[in-house]
Amino acid sequence: MKILLFGIAKDIIGTSSLLLKEAEKNPKTVGELKKLISNKYPKFKTLSSIAIAVNSCYAEDKTKLQSSDEIAIIPPVSGG
Amino acid sequence: MKILLFGIAKDIIGTSSLLLKEAEKNPKTVGELKKLISNKYPKFKTLSSIAIAVNSCYAEDKTKLQSSDEIAIIPPVSGG
Amino acid sequence: MIMEIDIQIVNNIDTTSVYQRLSHCKSGGICVFIGSVRDSTQNEKVEALDFETYEKMALKEMEIIAKEAGTKWKLNKVILHHVHGRKEIEEPVVMVGASSAHRDACFEACRFLIDTLKIRVPIWKKEFFTNKTVWVTEHP
Amino acid sequence: MIMEIDIQIVNNIDTTSVYQRLSHCKSGGICVFIGSVRDSTQNEKVEALDFETYEKMALKEMEIIAKEAGTKWKLNKVILHHVHGRKEIEEPVVMVGASSAHRDACFEACRFLIDTLKIRVPIWKKEFFTNKTVWVTEHP
């Protein structure tokens, strides 16, 4: 399962994408992924919000994840 | 006393400026001029408003007129 | 803080330069309104518009409006350009804009500029329909 | 009524074409907002901004926003352009706009476009100060 990283998320994790090996206990939902990420990288807890995009759409916590999905961590946006 | 005319005022009076001869009883104030104009050209009474500019500024009814002033009849504006 | 004012009555509005006219190192936001000739009004086909201006007074009133905007909002630059003469469908007839540090001010100022221009600036619009011409004697 | 949508993520925003992009025979009003790089933020000197985009998703979100505007107001054309990469002081970074028959709709839609873009579109801004760089993690 590959996870794209942008902005401050990239700086916190130190890479532009994250590969969760099958050996690890992969998250089944967006909510589980959020928990996993913020437990592993506590700095995420200092951000005002964190969203997950699945196949380039904002996803809800209950959305199920499949290893073929394009998954991205969306820290607070600041365009414009 | 010369009075500039614009837009529909020009069409109503039929000329782009009006010369009030000294022989006529010249209006002393903006209010008097308005009355004179709308009595002589009743079509002005059909307009929603009529303003007078003295030296290219909107003038109040009580403003005094001098023959050296640049006077203009301002029918309802419709720029933009 | 000095506000720059750019006021013009022109044959043709140059829309390509609007950013250059309003951009400013202290401005994060620029809001522009451009009015143009529509092909119909109240379901009647319009062929063209013709604008008559009392130019001297119009320029004076446009400057008063710009300065009034500058007292209401913190603006770096303000423009008010209006055409005179005949304009065909899709041609621009008025362009107003403001630039400011944040976007609230430029949006509100831009709206104020066009609303006030339409109420106060001595410019008159004649509509050319297929079979008649009409002075618009009420601002819309 | 078909609304035309023009969405782009570009290296440089072409502000000169904005009127041509938004003018329409049924539009009497065009409202445009352009955001640009200010030389300071909260009294600190800014040297430049750098924009990172999740391009595929950003384009998709910008299209959703344009269509949402089209359901709220009767619009003829909508544009949303955003830059990526490093931008210096006074360079444009975002340009949004709408054209409509009357001015209320284009003003309201334009404001909606920029406000919603700032909340929802996956683009991130890094501020370059004299001695540090900072990801802006809150939209202003």
How far C124 CA sits from the closest chain B CA (Å)? 5
Amino acid at D42: Q
SS3 state at C66: helix
- Which residue range forms the structural domain that includes residue D28? 4-135
List of domains in chain A: 2-74 (3.10.20.30)
The confidence score (pLDDT) of residue A21 equals: 78
Q: Is this complex scored with an ipTM above 0.90?
A: yes
Q: CB–CB of B78 and C124 under 8 A?
A: yes
Start-to-end CA span in chain C (Å): 35
Q: Render pLDDT for B29-78 as a digit per residue (tens, 0 to 9).
A: 999 999 999 999 999 999 999 999 999 999 999 999 998 999 999 999 99
- Residue D8, beta-bridge partner list: D81
Number of domains in chain D: 1
Q: CB–CB of B4 and C54 under 8 A?
A: yes
d(CA B20, CA B33): 10
Supply angle C-alpha D108, C46, C32, rounded to 5: 30
Q: Which residue of A has its CA nearest to D119?
A: A77
d(CA D95, CA D80): 6
Q: Do chains A and B touch (3 or more CB pairs under 8 A)?
A: no
- Residue A58, beta-bridge partner list: A53
d(CA C136, CA C127): 7
Amino acid at B62: K
Q: Quick one: average pLDDT of C35-43?
A: 95
Q: CB–CB of D138 and A48 under 8 A?
A: yes
Dihedral pair phi/psi, residue A69, rounded to 5°: -70, 150
The confidence score (pLDDT) of residue B29 equals: 96
Q: Does some domain include residue C140?
A: no
The confidence score (pLDDT) of residue C138 equals: 61
d(CA C114, CA C109): 9
Q: Render pLDDT for D35-83 as a digit per residue (tens, 0 to 9).
A: 999 999 989 999 999 999 999 999 999 999 999 999 999 999 999 999 9
Q: Quick one: average pLDDT of D80-103?
A: 98
Among the residue ranges A66-70, C60-64, D16-20, D100-104, the one predicted with the least confidence is A66-70
d(CA D6, CA D97): 10
Nearest in space to C48 (alpha carbons), one of C37, C57, C56, C58: C37
Dihedral pair phi/psi, residue D67, rounded to 5°: -65, -40
Q: Are C110 and C96 in contact (CB under 8 A)?
A: yes
Q: Render pLDDT for A14-25 as a digit per residue (tens, 0 to 9).
A: 999 998 876 567
Q: Render pLDDT for C73-88 as a digit per residue (tens, 0 to 9).
A: 999 999 999 999 999 9
Of all residues in chain D, what percent carry a pLDDT higher than 70?
A: 98
| pLDDT-based confidence at residue D137 (cuts at 50, 70, 90) | confident
Q: Chain D window 92-111: which residues touch C at a Cβ cutoff of 8 Å?
A: 92, 101-103, 106-107, 110-111
Amino acid at C65: I
How far D54 CA sits from the closest chain C CA (Å)? 23
d(CA D114, CA D95): 8
Long-range interactions of A2-6: CB distance < 8 A, separation 24+: A2/A70, A2/A71, A3/A33, A3/A71, A3/A72, A3/A73, A4/A70, A4/A71, A4/A72, A4/A73, A4/D54, A5/A72, A5/A73, A6/A72, A6/A73, A6/A74, A6/A75, A6/D52, A6/D54, A6/D122, A6/D124
Q: Are B6 and C122 in contact (CB under 8 A)?
A: yes
How far A77 CA sits from the closest chain D CA (Å)? 5
Put simply, whether C19 touches D (Cβ < 8 Å) is: yes
The confidence score (pLDDT) of residue D139 equals: 45
Of all residues in chain A, what percent carry a pLDDT higher than 70?
A: 96
Q: Any residues with CB less than 8 A from the CB of A72 and at least 6 apart, and which? A: A3, A4, A5, A6, A52, A53, A56, D54, D57, D122
d(CA B64, CA B30): 6
Q: Do chains A and D touch (3 or more CB pairs under 8 A)?
A: yes
Nearest beta carbon to residue B76 from set C35, C121, C138: C138
Q: Quick one: average pLDDT of C63-70?
A: 98
The confidence score (pLDDT) of residue B20 equals: 83
| pLDDT-based confidence at residue C139 (cuts at 50, 70, 90) | very low
Q: Which residue of A has its CA nearest to D140?
A: A78
Q: Does some domain include residue C66?
A: yes
How far C47 CA sits from the closest chain B CA (Å)? 17
Q: Does some domain include residue D98?
A: yes
Of all residues in chain D, what percent carry a pLDDT higher than 90?
A: 95
Checking if the pLDDT of A30 tops 80, the result is yes
Chains that touch A (3 or more CB pairs under 8 A): D
Put simply, whether D124 touches C (Cβ < 8 Å) is: no
Q: Which residue of D has its CA nearest to C90?
A: D25
Nearest beta carbon to residue D23 from set C23, C27, C90: C90
Q: Which residues of D touch A8 (CB under 8 A)?
A: 124, 135, 137
Chains that touch B (3 or more CB pairs under 8 A): C
**In this complex, how many residue pairs, one in chain B and one in chain C, have their CB atoms less than 8 Å apart?**
79
d(CA D135, CA D126): 4
pTM of the model: 0.96
Chains that touch D (3 or more CB pairs under 8 A): A, C
Nearest beta carbon to residue B8 from set C57, C93, C135: C135
Q: Which residues of C touch B78 (CB under 8 A)?
A: 118, 123-125, 135-140
Distances (CA, A) of D30 to B20, C33, C40, C111, D20: 45, 6, 16, 12, 11
Q: Does some domain include residue C83?
A: yes
Checking if the pLDDT of D30 tops 80, the result is yes
Query: Which domain CATH number covers C128?
Result: 3.90.1170.40
Q: Quick one: average pLDDT of C99-119?
A: 98
Q: Which residues of D touch C38 (CB under 8 A)?
A: 25-28, 101
Report the residue count for chain A.
80
Q: Quick one: average pLDDT of D30-36?
A: 98
d(CA C82, CA C92): 9
The confidence score (pLDDT) of residue D73 equals: 98
| pLDDT-based confidence at residue C140 (cuts at 50, 70, 90) | very low
Q: Does some domain include residue D140?
A: no
Q: Render pLDDT for C41-54 as a digit per residue (tens, 0 to 9).
A: 989 999 999 999 99
Q: Quick one: average pLDDT of C107-119?
A: 98
Nearest beta carbon to residue B79 from set C56, C117, C135: C117
How far D56 CA sits from the closest chain A CA (Å)? 7
DSSP label at D138?
A: S
SS3 state at D52: strand
Q: Does some domain include residue C110?
A: yes
Q: Which residues of B touch C60 (CB under 8 A)?
A: 56-57
